[in-house]
């Protein structure tokens, strides 16, 4: 595919968004939550873990811990036991307790609603911050996870490998009001069709806008 101008890339991106919205009209955050705190905890737990497993764990976790103070005051061994099945439980428990202590001490017990404040919390990077901003506070945020990284490359929207650089590449070509939903759409598409090993190109709703169209992802050769 010839190198696109930014205007052409924006135009193609809008077509991709429209097609994905039609294909996945119910695309939304898969982590079950009722408030910003629950979403923050769930997102921390989701690192290297499936959303399905996280939802199973948080179903009981949020019955046991109701507030930021509950998480801030729990002993690490007890929390580690509660979240053990999500993997990397020691580091996750440490981050959750430290993060919640900071929220109590610095933010009056309320999860902050700005990127700058969120990324200052222990264990919170831009990805987690954008999940919380977009889905708990309705503040547009581009979430760059493994699916978004993979699809952004395949769709020719970035050449970067670093998540933050990918996020900044996407910002000018994806309308700001679509940032949160765009991430949901790519995540859903990455799970349903554009999978890592064998993307289902023949049934892809955005194939005509994809520079990898018809490519065997193993051999890297055009079919």
Of the candidates 221, 154, 216, which has an alpha carbon nearest to the alpha carbon of residue 190?
Answer: 154
- Tell me phi and psi for residue 86, to 5 degrees: -85, -10
Helices (H), 36-193: 36-45, 51-64, 68-73, 76-83, 89-107, 115-118, 126-136, 146-154, 163-170, 179-192
Ordered DSSP codes for 155-168: TTS----SHHHHHH
Here the tokens at position 81 are 């036991």
Is 127 one of the annotated active-site residues of the chain?
Answer: yes
DSSP state of 208: G
Kindly name the residue from 92, 127, 169, 212 that is annotated as catalytic.
127
Kindly name the residue from 21, 51, 101, 145 that is annotated as catalytic.
145
The catalytic residue positions are 127, 145
């Amino acid at each position: 595919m010839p190198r696109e101008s930014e205007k052409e890339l924006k135009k193609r991106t809008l077509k991709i968004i429209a097609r994905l919205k039609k294909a996945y009209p119910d695309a939304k955050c898969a982590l079950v939550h009722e408030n910003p705190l629950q979403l923050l905890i769930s997102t921390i737990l989701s690192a290297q873990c499936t959303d399905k497993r996280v939802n199973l764990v948080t179903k009981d976790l949020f019955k046991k811990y109701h507030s930021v103070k509950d998480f801030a005051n729990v002993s690490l061994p007890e929390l580690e036991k509660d979240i053990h099945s999500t993997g990397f439980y020691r580091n996750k428990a440490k981050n959750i307790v430290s993060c919640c202590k900071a929220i109590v001490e610095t933010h009056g017990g309320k999860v902050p609603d700005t990127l700058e404040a969120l990324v200052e919390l222990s264990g919170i990077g831009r990805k987690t911050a954008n999940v919380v901003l977009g889905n708990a506070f309705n503040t547009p945020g581009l979430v760059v996870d493994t699916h978004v990284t993979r699809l952004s490359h395949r769709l020719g929207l970035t050449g970067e490998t670093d998540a933050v650089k990918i996020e900044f590449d996407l910002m000018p070509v994806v309308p700001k009001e679509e940032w949160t939903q765009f991430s949901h759409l790519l995540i859903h598409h990455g799970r349903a069709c554009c999978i890592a090993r064998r993307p289902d190109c023949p049934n892809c709703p955005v194939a005509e806008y994809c520079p990898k169209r018809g490519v065997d992802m193993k051999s890297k050769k055009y079919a």
